[in-house]
Structure 1
Amino acid sequence: MPDSNALSIQIRTAAAWRFGTAALTLAASLSLGWWFVTAFERDSPGWIWLGLPASLALGAAAAMHWIRSGQLRREGEVWRLADGAPGSAEETPGSVAVALDGGHWMLLRFRATPAGSRRHVRWLALSRRDLGGQWHALRCAVYSPRPDPAGRSAQAPAAPSA
């Protein structure tokens, strides 16, 4: 079993996830555009303002930045994420939590430790197909138990003294 305290893997957003989010965003924007155009034909231009929240949500979904590639490392309890985009070689410390687990794919939430960082929460859609042999090590590291923050001295002894 790999050491769950040290991990360094190259990550890549699952191609199926990228395709699915792009297809859903495109379908939603086409549907919303068609609804705006046909609102005048239905003689209800006053109802167009109802499409504003949907437009804002669609804009936010289209602007979400998914990491296409990068480096995910774990050293003890600290996770570090380095975006593979050109010109961004800095690593952001943070924590990782599993949002969805489908067995052969996972959606992870990377929460940056410094709250003032540029992106506080990053979503990582990873699949077994894209990670290959590193998949098992990632799953072990993500699901490994967290040690007590107070350390071993705060824990009760294994056997009471007589």
Structure 2
Amino acid sequence: MRNAPLVMYPVGHFLWIFWLCGGLGLGGAILTGWLFSVGQIASWLALISVLTLLAVGAACLPLAVRKKTTCWLHWNGQVWRCLDDEKNETAQTVSSVIVILDVQQALLLRLIGSSVDVPGTQEWVWLYKGFAPVKWHDMRCAVYSALK
């Protein structure tokens, strides 16, 4: 069997929470407007509802503008590492990478660390094809074929 390709892939923030908040906010605004138009909700309650939806939207805004890359997941053919940046600085060794969910465009992974301080620490990360589309196939191959 062929070895998995060497790959370095950015692990970033998957903005599903931002889209979820936006969708819930829009749905809530439509529901509030409909209830107000049919007379099922008082105007003061509709105003409070709209202000609450705006506050939730404002709270989700920092999620959209924060730094996208948290680390780089690196497979060197023998060991997984989580690097703080692309220049291989401050590496944390990962003893195993477990695929929890695969939806073709994104992977939910559980990284189990092997650091000396706290062995067996776990971190859950999303990998998204949009972070590095050119490297996506190599990353999927490495995740599925490494450390069998």
Q: How does 1:9-158 map to 2 (within 5 A)?
A: 9-16=9-16, 18-19=17-18, 23=21, 68-83=69-84, 89-94=89-94, 95-114=96-115, 116-117=117-118, 120-144=121-145, 146=147
Q: CA deviation at 1:3?
A: 5.7
Q: Give, in angstroms, the shift of residue 68 of structure 1.
A: 4.1
Mapped partners of 2:99, 2:79: distance in 1: 15
Q: CA deviation at 1:119?
A: 8.4
List alignment gaps of at least 5 residues for structure 1.
28-66, 148-162
Q: Is this contact kept in 1: 2:79–2:93, CA < 8 A?
A: yes
Answer whether contact 1:79 1:93 (CA < 8 A) is retained.
yes
How many residues of Structure 1 are paired with residues of Structure 2 in the alignment? 99
Counterpart AA for 1:7: V
Deviations 1:48-68 (A, max 9, x none): xxxxxxxxxxxxxxxxxxx84
Which residue is equivalent to 2:65?
Answer: none
- Unaligned ranges ≥5, structure 2: 26-67
Taking structure 2 as the reference length, the TM-score comes to 0.54
Q: Which one has more relative contact order, counting CA pairs under 8 Å at least 6 apart?
A: 2
**Cα offset for 1:12?**
2.1
CA distance in 1, matches of 2:121, 2:81: 13
Question: Counterparts of 1:96 and 1:20 in 2: how far apart (Å)?
Answer: 27
- In 2, Cα distance between the equivalents of 1:145 and 1:68? 23
Alpha-carbon distance change, 145 to 10 in structure 1, aligned in 2, over 3 angstroms: closer
CA apart distance, 1:124: 1.1
Q: How much has 1:128 moved relative to structure 2?
A: 1.2
Please give the TM-score of this superposition, normalised by the length of structure 1.
0.50
Provide the secondary structure at the position in 1 that maps to 2:4.
coil
Aligned to 1:133, the other structure's residue is in SS state: helix
